[in-house]
Amino acid sequence: MYKKTLAELIAGLEAGEFSSVELTQMYLERIKRWNPELNAFITITEELALTQAKQADQQRHQGKGGLTGVPIAHKDLFCSQGVRSSCGSKMLDNFIAPYNATVVENLQQAGMVLLGKTNMDEFAMGSSNETSYYGCVKNPWDVSKVPGGSSGGSAAAVAARLAPASTGTDTGGSIRQPASLCGITGLKPTYGRVSRYGMVAFASSLDQAGPMTQTAEDAALLLQAMAGFDAKDSTCVPQEVPDYLSGLNNDIAGLTLGLPKEYFAEGLDDEVASTVQQAISELQKLGAKLVDIELPHSHLSIPTYYVVAPAECSSNLARYDGVRFGYRCQNPKDLEDLYKRSRSEGLGAEVQRRIMIGTYVLSSGYYDAYYLQAQKVRQLIRQDFQQAFEKVDMIVAPTSPTVAFALGDKFNDPVTMYLSDIDTIAVNLAGLPAMSIPAGFSQQLPVGLQLIGNYFDEAKLLNVAHSYQQQTDWHCQISDGFNVE
Ligand code: GLN
């Protein structure tokens, strides 16, 4: 039963093969058995899960269908009412959310059962899940390797089938890169497609929530329930949500795929490159046409991101002052001491580094030189994509330049760590939708293929990903150690 996709679980529940309570118990047992090794969950919501599962079984008897009774895990930066929502930080270790994020609410309304909250880099800052206050997450394919970040717990949980699906957020690659490193499917929607209300903010012009699943079909099912306009998020786009499922089997013959030469350049591991090329030829066999394209400002995406994201984070994280939210230091001498010590003791090194960079680039005298300049470059990066989409329907590229690296390998070298997002960050700066799908293995570790679409082209991405998954079985692979009842 643990191998089943969301679509299969829905069918099984519908046919009465098992109840939601049985299903939920099975996942809770898997979590208890393997979480000590993987550390994918910060909080396991056993009692809540069983209550929701019982309710779901009743609702199914009354005729409610769809995702009713299907379990899920949420990244710990989504506020979940009555449940600790820590964002991977000591600062919010004691924060019990008083309300649900819209994503959590939407999936709850759809009848989904919350198994727990997944581990993540502190405030979603990181690419390896090593900055979490709750310790690093291990990659189910090799526990000496990182799962990627920041949604590493969500990715590892699905890869080890401790949950059939999860939610993640992607500010610079945090859904796609861990999906790639753990061998699962991850979708970052167009900026504004999914509400950010109740997501702990990191960089508000970049953050976007999305599904992390076994298959593209499952991603379609989840996105369908997650997406939509929300008056509580002023950046949420008031555009109707199309039917993501109906076009999954569309013929992709004749579709043009752009190959950006900048994404196949120096720094890309040879074996990752050939694995990705093989996946692309599979799409060619399905009738897709390849076109060489250029995204000439790609090399500026990391420096631009590391001005924009820290600037926004320094502003967003100003609220953690020891007064209103979260951690407060012991016996402060005065107000300034309260601020300083609460923030120094409550926030980790990477978060503090970003707050300092952000404060610096926003300060008078430097604002024009850094922040304003970065905004201009961001526009150029956006234009590169728009020009490319005049010629092609979609862009294909690696998701990550390497497979999962060893724990500790890049931890003390922030710049090298930042470079691991070289293939994902431009998409966030442009606000585009993109997916990572399992495309093979290198050194026995998963490799991801990235599909980048034009604004609101999620259905097209899902169609191509699903077509690929009908021809291949990389997405069905489970690491031996977890491929047991
Ligand atoms: N790894 C990038 C960072 O550290 C992106 C993180 C994310 O997408 N949340 O900022």
The preferred substitution site among 170, 171, 188, 316 for testing ligand 1, maximizing ligand atoms within 8 Å of CB, is: 171
| pLDDT attached to residue 273 | 97
Burial class (CB in 10 A: 0-12, 13-18, 19+), 238: exposed
Residues 6+ apart with CB under 8 A from 365: none
| pLDDT attached to residue 266 | 86
**CA distances (Å), origin 265, targets 178, 276, 361, 413:** 21, 13, 30, 22
| pLDDT attached to residue 84 | 98
Q: How far is the CA of 289 from the centre of ligand 1 (A)?
A: 32
Atom of ligand 1 nearest to the CA of 202: 9
User: Does residue 171's CB lie within 6 angstroms of at least one atom of ligand 1?
Assistant: yes
The CA distance from 473 to 150, in Å, is 26
User: Does residue 177's CB lie within 6 angstroms of at least one atom of ligand 1?
Assistant: no
The CA distance from 174 to 79, in Å, is 18
CB–CB of 325/92 below 8 Å?
A: yes
For β-strands 209-213 and 71-75, DSSP reports them as unpaired
Atom of ligand 1 nearest to the CA of 173: 8
User: Does residue 170's CB lie within 6 angstroms of at least one atom of ligand 1?
Assistant: yes
Q: How far is the CA of 230 from the centre of ligand 1 (A)?
A: 24
Atom of ligand 1 nearest to the CA of 124: 9
The preferred substitution site among 351, 421, 425, 450 for testing ligand 1, maximizing ligand atoms within 8 Å of CB, is: 421
| pLDDT attached to residue 463 | 98
Q: How far is the CA of 19 from the centre of ligand 1 (A)?
A: 38
The CA distance from 147 to 153, in Å, is 8
Q: How far is the CA of 124 from the centre of ligand 1 (A)?
A: 6
Token couple for 291: 């076109």
Q: Which residues are catalytic?
A: 75, 150, 174
> What residues pair up with 43 in beta bridges, in sequence order?
117
Give, as one character, the DSSP assignment of residue 474. G
| pLDDT attached to residue 52 | 98
User: Does residue 301's CB lie within 6 angstroms of at least one atom of ligand 1?
Assistant: no
Give, as one character, the DSSP assignment of residue 242. P
User: Does residue 453's CB lie within 6 angstroms of at least one atom of ligand 1?
Assistant: no
| pLDDT attached to residue 127 | 97
E-state strands within 189-334: 209-213, 256-260, 289-293
CB–CB of 154/124 below 8 Å?
A: no
Q: How far is the CA of 70 from the centre of ligand 1 (A)?
A: 29
CB–CB of 451/388 below 8 Å?
A: no
The CA distance from 319 to 206, in Å, is 19
User: Does residue 417's CB lie within 6 angstroms of at least one atom of ligand 1?
Assistant: no
The preferred substitution site among 130, 132, 150, 425 for testing ligand 1, maximizing ligand atoms within 8 Å of CB, is: 150
Number of C-beta neighbours around residue 465 at 10 A: 26
User: Which residue type occupies 439?
Assistant: A
User: Does residue 309's CB lie within 6 angstroms of at least one atom of ligand 1?
Assistant: yes
User: Does residue 97's CB lie within 6 angstroms of at least one atom of ligand 1?
Assistant: no
Token couple for 43: 């909080």
| pLDDT attached to residue 325 | 84
pLDDT tens digits, the chain, 485 residues: what are they? Answer: 999 999 999 999 999 999 999 999 999 999 999 999 999 999 999 999 999 999 999 999 999 999 999 999 999 999 999 999 999 999 999 999 999 999 999 999 999 999 999 999 999 999 999 999 999 999 999 999 999 999 999 999 999 999 999 999 999 999 999 999 999 999 999 999 999 999 999 999 999 999 999 999 999 999 999 999 999 999 999 999 999 999 999 999 999 999 999 999 989 999 999 999 999 999 999 999 999 999 999 999 999 999 999 999 999 999 999 998 899 999 999 999 999 999 999 999 999 999 999 999 999 889 999 999 999 999 999 999 999 999 999 999 999 999 999 999 999 999 999 999 999 999 999 999 999 999 999 999 999 999 999 999 999 999 999 999 999 999 999 999 999 99
Atom of ligand 1 nearest to the CA of 206: 8
User: Does residue 434's CB lie within 6 angstroms of at least one atom of ligand 1?
Assistant: no
Token couple for 388: 């490319």
The CA distance from 229 to 418, in Å, is 32
User: Does residue 124's CB lie within 6 angstroms of at least one atom of ligand 1?
Assistant: yes
The preferred substitution site among 120, 122, 125, 204 for testing ligand 1, maximizing ligand atoms within 8 Å of CB, is: 125
